[in-house]
A = this chain, B = another copy of it.
Amino acid sequence: MRLVDQRALPERLVFLECATVASLCSAIRSLAVRGAPALGAAGAFGVALAAHHTDRPTTVVAAARRIAATRPTAVNLRWGVEQALMAYRSGGARAVLGAARRVVADDIAANEAIGRHAVDLVDDGARVLTHCNAGHLATCGYGTALGVVRGAVAAGKRVSVYAGETRPLLQGARLTAWELERSGIETTVIVDSAAAGLMAAGGIDLVVVGADRIAANGDVANKVGTYGLAVLARHHRIPFVVAAPTSTIDLATPTGADIPVEQRPADEIAVVGGRRVVPRGVAVSNPAFDVTPARFVGALVTEVGIATRPWRSTLAAHRRSGFATGRADPTDPPDRT
């Protein structure tokens, strides 16, 4: 497997070769590959990799389980693994590679569809705030939140983006700014905590983010900081939009309270550029995600269209008719890894 090593950006565009499941798991854990839809593809190709190395189904299933367990929050990882396992069970090693390729093709098509569906949500001249990276790099291409921006630009609208830098790992500063700059879309990086003042000054017209998991009731887990932006957007009467493929909708998770939030290592915060900035002996809390209750979400865009209230029925309908369905449904218990 060959992946963009997202840790090296924006200074260097480096590719990482993962020849084993163990090296893929390590790449996922260290965020060399990150972003919910990209993790879905990584999971599917990881199963293909395992199937390529062994003829023993139990070994493939065990590898699939290991991959799915590397990160707990983004449901797409488990979903991608499941897509591949389904194909493996029915058609063996050859089928699993096809399934993984389908995950990639479907994801790009889903993101492009998201961009088309969202066009009317973005006004000409809009100044869009986004958080973390939900672009090319977080997906198999085009992006979810940034797909909304790309779709509006493709429709001839002028759009500028404010990218929250996204501490601790700066996916906004490093990745979102990098890919938008390459796409010629005007971008300004701010520290995450500057968003509120910018909203108060009337500088933001729309907030668009991706998602790591959407519960059946519409609650959204996404990069830590998203929930605060949602509350602030509500306070300043700015539309708050979530963009995600239907593979991010997890009907088996009833509410946001049921979504496991990954705690990442303290040193992601405590050590900055090799320098220890938090004194030893001081605790650090580093949740990678937070949960935005559905009531703060103005619209949720998937490849099916724009989902709105009531969430439970519209999300179930999107899940049923989206690209994520018809192959494997992670809500089906026997297929759970």
Chain A contributes a number of interface residues (CB within 8 A of B) equal to: 56
Interface string of A248-272 (1 = CB under 8 A from B): 0000000000000000000001101
A277 & B170 in contact (Cβ 8 Å cutoff): yes
B189 & A284 in contact (Cβ 8 Å cutoff): yes
Q: Which residues of B contact A272 (CB under 8 A)?
A: 170, 272-273
A225 & B167 in contact (Cβ 8 Å cutoff): no
Are A228 and B277 also in contact (CB < 8 A) when A191-B168, A284-B188, A285-B190 are? no
Q: Which residues of B contact A166 (CB under 8 A)?
A: 193
A282 to B164, CA, bound (A): 13
A278 to B177, CA, bound (A): 7
Closest to A186 in B: B283
A335 to B197, CA, bound (A): 33
Which of A195, A270, A272, A278 has its CB near the most chain B CB atoms (within 10 A)?
A: A278
B165 & A165 in contact (Cβ 8 Å cutoff): no
Q: Which residues of B contact A329 (CB under 8 A)?
A: none
Are A279 and B178 also in contact (CB < 8 A) when A165-B167, A285-B188 are? yes
Interface string of A165-180 (1 = CB under 8 A from B): 1111010011001101
Q: Which residues of B contact A305 (CB under 8 A)?
A: none
A75 to B174, CA, bound (A): 35
Closest to A192 in B: B193
A279 & B181 in contact (Cβ 8 Å cutoff): yes
A270 to B11, CA, bound (A): 12
| A276 interface residue per 8 A CB criterion | yes
Additional 14 contacts, C-beta under 8 A, given A173-B278, A194-B225: A164-B193, A167-B193, A170-B272, A174-B278, A177-B282, A181-B279, A186-B283, A189-B283, A190-B286, A192-B193, A193-B225, A194-B285, A195-B228, A231-B231
7 nearest A-B pairs in the assembled complex, by CB-CB distance: A273-B273, A193-B225, A196-B228, A197-B290, A167-B191, A10-B279, A192-B193
Interface residues of A, Cβ cutoff 8 Å to B: 10-11, 131, 162, 164-168, 170, 173-174, 177-178, 180-181, 186-198, 200, 224-225, 227-228, 231-232, 235, 269-270, 272-279, 281-287, 290-291
